Structure 1
Amino acid sequence: MSASTATLPRRQSKLPLGLQPHHLTFALYFTSIVVIGTTYSVLYGTHLQNVRISSGATGDFPSTLPGAAVAPAPVQNTVEGSLNLGPIPPTILLPPHHALNYWANRKNIVNQLFVKKAWLWTTLAWGMQLFFLRLAPPRVDKKKDEDAVATEQATITSPVSISVLRYLVATSAWLLFANWFFGPPLSERILTATGAVCVPTGTGGGKVEEMYCRTRTPLASDHPALHSSGLTAKNVRAMWKGGHDISGHTFIMVLSSLLLLEDVAPYLAALLGRSLFGKSTAQASRTRWTGTAYAAVGVTLGLVGLWSWMLLNTAIYFHTPQEKVSGLVVGLAAWLVLPKGN
């Protein structure tokens, strides 16, 4: 392979924002997951119980179909001010519209261990492809290829630099949406701007200061809101009630998956020779396929598969249809601003 081959310009796409056809395939894949899961939830009412829990509602939500199974109301823990969702059912083989389906319970092990730490797992998978694919010694067949590799790795537009920049932009989008946006995160600002108020959990009391919801700090036992509700228990916490709660799980599953697929796509193209993943880059075609290189691809695809499964369960069991669609839109919007190409 000559130096000129390594620096051939990428074929210009007619799509905006530097998108290639395989980008549309990826976006449509995750969009279809959300649409299918949301449609199912509307038909069978599978999301209603968790929506009721999240909203702090005390009445029963109606099922959209007579056959939809809605779980009994959760038990209020008056000591800790939290909701007891009950034990995890012993089987995961219950039909999706069954009220006790394993994946409808927020305590399921995958949600607790993986989804709640999604960006950590995404970072680990991204780091594997960075060190074991992009930074790994390439296969060099000729002496003149060595100069091409050195030049490619030294530029600011090298595949390594683009991958790092892409990860930093994605991480910034996640932080702004879920953790900090010049104060409260963007998701919380949208929640309060659309009418959410902070209230004591399960007390039926009045509005309390927003800091109790933001910091999860227990209310003092002599707080006026507790006295007005006749509750004197300690460690009562507050929760948001009302407003538009953009599905954070939908957002992070979509953004994380598209970030990982963007980085691994040229290596899949080089490995499988399939145009579905776009075209192999010069660097990817020189990959030395060691055990760690295969592991990096396998871990990345495995995590994308897990995120896809949990995205489907989020669409089936959690949030209103509007909140899931908005989570998808925000996730796709964040992905669109990521640098494309490898």
Structure 2
Amino acid sequence: MASLSLSSDTPQRRKPTMAATPASSTSSTSSTSSTSSTSPAFSARRSSPYLPTSRESLLLSIFPALLLFGTLFRVLSPQTRGAAMNVAPGTAHYDQAPGLAPSYFARKDNLFNVFFVKRGWFWITVTFAFFVGTHPFFAVSDKQQPAARNSSVLGRRGSAILRWGLVTGWWFLVTQWFFGPALVDRSFRLTGGSCQVLQAAVDDKIAADEDPSQLLLAATASACKHAGGQWRGGHDISGHVFLLVLGTTFLAQEIGWVLWRRAVSTSTVRVADARSLVMHDGAVKSAEVEAELATISPSPASTETATVASRIALRFAAVVVGLCLWMLLMTAIYFHTWFEKLTGLLVSLAGFYSVYLLPRWVPEARRVVGVPGL
């Protein structure tokens, strides 16, 4: 009887357990299902840490599109097709006389070229400094500063300034000085180019059995121009394309990701960061991971004083980026061969990749250089 009593009681005791088990199982399954239904939605938006995101790819596609459109316009437009063009080796531009040039923008002395493109990196730097100095994203109080160092040891503003220094260094090496002549000058000479005026002096030294190497090393585009000569015969990497593309991508990264991050932080709809980062343990995770570590709020006082100035800075940046794209189109139509423009584009993208994409998969570099918007 006792055994019968026990056996009859046992199922009654197990009922709550049996009833609880499916509930917990259902809850666990629901949780897992919820996670699995949410995670893929966000992970699907993430790109490879070695490649640009879809937003960045869309921006980058603008540059070859403008260069291609400019090349087609030059060929198809009756105005440019019928204009006299200097086709000497190493050059590709139209007659500079006001009455013969097919457009005001085909002349090297147009105001936009003289005061904007020729001083392009100055305007890029002013735009960057104005934005970083006024936007609330960078306005962090001293007490909050340690929290800002989670993403980069230099903090938000410090890492942004370092990235500016790296991009500026690349611009300087390519166009100004590279342990002597700049890279564009060295590449021109390595491909057989020379300066008309200096070449005569070199020939004289050779005729006198003297070493002309020092004179050849001193030959740069700037020196040639001041001597009244012109580059001839080599491959002339388009400095205009290089500068305009590098400056535009630099500002787009430094300003675009900050604006996106601020917009997401105030939105009621969660939008995942498409960027992927390689962590120290080798795991590939969303930039959201470091974004959460670096989440800090600017001090109220600094936010209030920076609001008006930051809006002006953004409008100023929009004008500068617009001018960069417009002058890139003018360069595509009226100056350089297609291959010279292509190499200018590739050299600028090499700098962009090194500063903005490489740190995503090199944690040690990211710890110092940081990532825009984090």
**Partner residue, 2:167:** 170
CA distance in 2, matches of 1:54, 1:291: 52
- The equivalent of 2:47 in structure 1 is 14
Give identity over the alignment, percent.
Answer: 27
Name the aligned partner's letter for residue 86 of structure 1: A
CA-to-aligned-CA distance 1:263-282 (integer Å, 9 cap, x gap): 11133325666979979966
| 2:77 is aligned with 1:86 | no
Aligned ranges 1:118-129 → 2 under 5 Å? 118-129=120-131
Match of 1:293 in 2: 310
Q: Are the counterparts in 2 of residues 199 and 207 from structure 1 also a CA contact under 8 Å? A: no
Query: In 1, Cα distance between the equivalents of 2:70 and 2:343?
Result: 14
Contact 2:90 2:232 in 1 (8 A): yes
State the SS of the aligned residue for 2:119.
Answer: helix
Which stretch shows the higher mean deviation, 286-295 or 166-175?
286-295
Change over 3 Å in CA distance of 1:294–1:43 after alignment to 2: same
Does 2:325 align with 1:314? no
* Pairing partner for 1:137 from 122, 136, 139: 139
Q: Where do residues 16-95 of structure 1 align in structure 2 (5 Å cutoff)?
A: 16-17=49-50, 19-44=52-77, 46=80, 49=84, 51-52=86-87, 55=90, 85-87=96-98
Q: TM-score, normalised by structure 2?
A: 0.62
Corresponding residue number in structure 2 for 1:335 = 352
Task: Give unmatched runs, 5+ long, in structure 2.
Answer: 1-41, 204-214, 276-287, 357-370
Q: Deviations over 1:17-48 (max 9, x none)?
A: 37333221221122221222123224448498
Is the Cα contact below 8 Å between 1:265 and 1:277 reproduced in 2?
Answer: no
Answer yes or no: is the 8 Å Cα contact 1:128–1:296 preserved in 2.
yes
Please show how residues 223-238 of structure 1 align to structure 2 within 5 Å: 237-238=228-229
Instruction: Quote the offset at 1:170 in angstroms.
Output: 0.4
Deviation of the 1:298 alpha carbon: 1.4
Deviation at 1:187, TM superposition (A): 0.8
1:158 positional shift: 2.5
Partner residue of 1:216?
A: 223
Q: Could you say if the C-alpha distance between residues 291 and 52 of structure 1 is closer, same or farther in structure 2, counting changes exceeding 3 Å?
A: same
Q: CA deviation at 1:249?
A: 0.3
Distance 1:153 1:214, change over 3 A: same
What is the distance in 1 between the residues matched to 2:202 and 2:162?
43
Structure 1 gaps of 5+ residues are 1-9, 62-69, 75-84, 90-97, 141-145, 219-234
Give the greater-gyration-radius structure (CA): 2
Q: 1:188 to 1:268 in 2, by over 3 A?
A: same
Q: How does 1:261-300 map to 2 (within 5 A)?
A: 261-269=252-260, 290-300=307-317
Distance 1:313 1:177 in 2: 22
Is the 8 Å Cα contact of residues 246 and 352 (structure 2) preserved in structure 1? Answer: yes
Return the alpha-carbon distance in structure 2 between the equivalents of residues 326 and 110 of structure 1. Answer: 23
Pick closer, same or farther for the CA change 1:37–1:277 going to 2, 3 Å: farther
Quick check: 2:90–2:235 contact (8 Å CA) kept in 1? no
In the other structure, the counterpart of 1:160 is 157
Which amino acid in structure 2 is aligned with residue 263 of structure 1? E
Q: 1:106 maps to which residue? A: 108
The Cα offsets for residues 212-236 of structure 1, whole Å up to 9 and x where unpaired, read as 5555279xxxxxxxxxxxxxxxx96
Over residues 263-317 of structure 1, what are the superposed CA-to-partner deviations in whole Å (9 max), with x where a residue is unaligned? 1113332566697997996669856561101111111121111100000000010
CA 1:335 to 1:51, structure 2 compared with 1: closer, same or farther past 3 Å?
farther
Q: Secondary structure at the match of 2:195?
A: strand
Q: For the residues of structure 2 that align with 1:41 and 1:207, how far apart are their CA atoms? A: 37
Structure (1 or 2) with the greater helix fraction: 2
RMSD: 3.8
Cα pair 2:196 2:230 within 8 Å, conserved: yes
AA in 2 matched with 1:27: L
- Alignment-derived partner of residue 79 in structure 1: none
What secondary structure does 2:355 align onto? coil
Please give the alpha-carbon distance, in whole angstroms, between the structure 1 residues aligned to 2:348 and 2:245: 6
Which residue type is aligned with residue 87 of structure 2?
R
Change (3 A) 1:277 1:298: farther
How far is 1:335 from its partner? 0.7
Question: Residue 7 of structure 1 aligns with which residue?
Answer: none
- CA distance 1:240–1:99, change in 2 (3 Å): closer
Query: Does residue 179 of the first structure (1) align with residue 170 of the second (2)?
Result: no
- Cα distance per residue 1:143-180 (max 9 Å; x no partner): xxx85555215851532232112111101111110111
* Number of aligned residues: 276
| C-alpha contact 2:241 2:341 (8 A) present in aligned 1 | yes
Amino acid in structure 1 at the alignment position of 2:164: Y
Written as runs of structure 1 = structure 2, the 5 A alignment for 1:181-260 is 181-200=178-197, 209-210=215-216, 211=218, 213-214=220-221, 216=223, 237-260=228-251
Hey, what's the Cα distance between the residues in 2 that align with 1:277 and 1:114?
A: 34
